[in-house]
Amino acid sequence: MLDFLPTSPIGLTPAGKCYIEATEQVMAVEEELRARLSRLSERREGNVTVGSAAYFCSYVLPELALEFQRRYPSCTVSLLEGNTGDLTQCLQSGVVDFVLDVDDLDPGLFVPHLWGEEELILAVPAGLAVNQRLRDSRLTFEQVRSGSGLGPDCPRVGLGAFQEEKFLLLKKGNDIYRRALNMCRNAGFRPRVGMYMDQMLTSYHVAANGQGITFIRAGVLDHVKPTDRLYFYQIDDSNVVRTIYLYHRKDAPMPPIARDFLAFMEEKRQ
């Protein structure tokens, strides 16, 4: 029979324990360093400049810009208000990174990204007699704002019903100006123009003062005080529907922060 001598379990010396503890601390520091470097490499910095019309710069883009900056704290978003012609030049020259617009820009120079659709409606002073003739089709402020009076199943009116009224038109070169003329032409008349305006909001307020009828974005009513001084109409013409595009230059490299903004805007597509 074999006899076994008692043995002691193998253990670390105090120096060995100290070495392992120090090694674990070094590994933890290295892991934290790798994580921090990874976060730094993913951080986006820089500035994104977006050009658009007064409506978008006033009511749509500021909230989106703030949300984007909360997501990317090291980035700033700048807005540039202007007309399509000026903004197109700014985009081509690199003054702005993106343009949000309803016009069709040169596809050879710019890449369009579909961002949304909007509808134009006709704002008519409440005191005009035409509202009585069209009382079954007229919409109140609240019906438009809530959306309850809008849509393909709601009544639409031919623009010819308003051919005797004075129009407030935006100036030549504006997309609404072109669409308004096309709609009048489709309805078989030339509009009687009372005034030409630079801004749609100006024409809205002038119409509310009873000085003419005008086309506005339906979304404008989300940003102005309720009024009973106007009635609104959906017009039976395809020109009332407008497509909104976000454009960038085709031939320019896009920085990482600009790519992030493009992805963000596509996420927020209307």
pLDDT digit string (tens) for 99-116? 999 999 999 999 999 999
Residue 59 pLDDT > 70, yes or no?
yes
Q: Which domain holds residue 112?
A: 46-116+243-267
- Residues 138, 209, single domain; the answer is yes
> DSSP assignment of the chain, as one string?
-------PPP---HHHHHHHHHHHHHHHHHHHHHHHHHHHHH---EEEEEEE-HHIIIIIHHHHHHHHHHHSTTEEEEEEE--HHHHHHHHHHTS-SEEEESS---TTTEEEEEEEEEEEEEEEETTSTHHHHTTTT-B-HHHHHHSTT-STTS--B-GGGGTTSEEEEEPTTSHHHHHHHHHHHHTT---EEEEEES-HHHHHHHHHTTS-BEEEEGGGGGSS---SSEEEE-BSSGGGEEEEEEEEESSS---HHHHHHHHHHHHT--
- Position 207 scores a pLDDT of 98
Do the domain assignments include residue 13?
no
- Residues 179, 196, single domain; the answer is yes
Strand partners, 122: 215, 233
Residue 84 pLDDT > 70, yes or no?
yes
- Residues 142, 189, single domain; the answer is yes
- Residues 226, 253, single domain; the answer is no
Cα 53 to Cα 171: distance, rounded to the nearest angstrom: 14
Strand partners, 101: 245
Q: Structural domain tally of the chain?
A: 2
- Residues 164, 138, single domain; the answer is yes
What CATH number is given to the structural domain containing 221?
Answer: 3.40.190.10
- Residues 155, 225, single domain; the answer is yes
8 A C-beta contact, residue 111 and residue 92: no
The residue that leads in pLDDT, 244 or 10, is 244
Do the domain assignments include residue 2?
no
For Cα atoms 176, 269, 251, give the angle at the middle one, nearest 5 degrees: 80
- Residues 128, 225, single domain; the answer is yes
Do the domain assignments include residue 6?
no
Do the domain assignments include residue 10?
no
Of 245, 246, 253, 244, residue with least CA distance to 94: 253
pLDDT band at 41 (very low <50, low <70, confident <90, very high): very low
Cα 94 to Cα 11: distance, rounded to the nearest angstrom: 69
- Residues 137, 108, single domain; the answer is no
Strand partners, 77: 48
- Position 45 scores a pLDDT of 81
- Residues 126, 209, single domain; the answer is yes
Least confident of 44-48, 113-117, 130-134, 205-209: 44-48
pLDDT band at 10 (very low <50, low <70, confident <90, very high): low
Do the domain assignments include residue 175?
yes
Cα 264 to Cα 269: distance, rounded to the nearest angstrom: 9
Do the domain assignments include residue 188?
yes
Do the domain assignments include residue 82?
yes
pLDDT band at 14 (very low <50, low <70, confident <90, very high): confident
Cα 52 to Cα 82: distance, rounded to the nearest angstrom: 6
- Residues 125, 67, single domain; the answer is no
Angle formed by the axes of helices 256-267 and 61-71, to 10°? 120
pLDDT band at 240 (very low <50, low <70, confident <90, very high): very high
- Residues 189, 219, single domain; the answer is yes
How would you classify residue 80: left for phi > 0, otherwise alpha for psi between -120 and 50, otherwise beta? beta
First to last CA, the chain: 89
Q: What is the pLDDT of residues 251-262, one digit of tens each?
A: 989 999 999 999
- Residues 102, 142, single domain; the answer is no
Do the domain assignments include residue 30?
no
